[in-house]
């Protein structure tokens, strides 16, 4: 089995395991995960095959209202803007109004490609190999400044930690020599912001925008698809 396929299957298996935990507010019968899923493209007149796809379908509906496409990239050279542009075009052809996309890296990505992804609503996720993670006992050194108010100091520390984490995320995705401390997962959201959390939380964050939206049904106004099934 080639390395690319192994990575796709690992991603597919990880997403399936997380969804089976039922922590995302998604009914199992309404959510399916596919490997090598084919979608017809009118522009191409043929199918587009994607690495991994999550389809969320309303109860009783035949077509999904959300398709979350995941593309696994295992490149020796940094991922270019062209690769992200091609992925963006695929999403548009599959269904611009109901698709979202995430590219999963094991290698690096060019700075310009990272910026293009942020400006076009494409998430980026990076799993560092174990050889680039240094496990240390957690510790935090706080700098105390004479006469500084406690609330101001805590806000400053939070800001500094946020800026540090953003730098680390950027380096994890673009610098092949970067060594992480105690962390193997880094991500950039569809909005282009640095994500602080693990893979499960990244999935949950991706579904939140859809789970919090009202989805209308003609015969019942303000009907939310989850309410009928929640206890």
Query: Per residue in 140-158, pLDDT tens?
Result: 555 556 666 777 777 877 8
- Specify whether the CB–CB gap between 153 and 145 falls below 8 A: yes
Which residues are paired to 68 by β-bridges?
Answer: 54, 100
pLDDT value, residue 36:
95
Q: Is the pTM of this model over 0.85?
A: no
Domain ranges of the chain: 3-211
Classified as helix, coil or strand, 19 is: helix
For the structural domain made of 3-211, what CATH number should be given?
3.40.1350.10
DSSP calls for 47-111: EEEEEEEEEE--TT-SS-SEEEEEEEE--SSPBPHHHHHHHHHHHHHHHTTTEEEEEEESS-B-H
Confidence at residue 160, expressed as pLDDT on a 0 to 100 scale: 87
Low-confidence residues in the chain, pLDDT < 50? 215-231
């Amino acid at each position: 089995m080639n390395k690319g396929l192994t990575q796709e299957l690992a991603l597919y298996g990880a997403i399936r395991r997380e969804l089976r935990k039922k922590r995302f507010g998604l009914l199992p019968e309404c959510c399916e995960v596919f490997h090598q899923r084919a979608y017809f493209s009118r522009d191409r007149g043929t199918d587009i095959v994607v690495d991994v796809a999550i389809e969320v379908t309303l109860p009783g509906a035949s077509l999904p209202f959300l398709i979350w496409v995941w593309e696994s990239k295992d490149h020796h050279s940094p991922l270019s803007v062209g690769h992200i542009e091609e992925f963006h075009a695929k999403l548009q052809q599959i269904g611009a109004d109901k698709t979202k996309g995430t590219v999963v890296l094991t290698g690096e990505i060019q700075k310009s490609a990272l910026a293009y992804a942020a400006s076009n609503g494409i998430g980026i996720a990076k799993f560092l190999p174990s050889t680039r993670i240094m496990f240390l006992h957690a510790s935090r050194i706080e700098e105390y400044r004479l006469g500084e108010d406690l609330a101001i100091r805590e806000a400053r520390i939070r800001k500094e930690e946020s800026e540090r984490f953003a730098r680390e995320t950027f380096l994890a995705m673009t610098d092949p020599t970067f060594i992480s401390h105690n962390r193997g997962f880094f991500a950039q959201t569809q909005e282009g912001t640095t994500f602080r959390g693990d893979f499960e939380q990244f999935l949950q964050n991706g579904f939140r925008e859809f789970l919090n939206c009202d989805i209308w049904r003609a015969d019942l106004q303000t009907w939310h698809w989850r309410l009928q099934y929640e206890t």
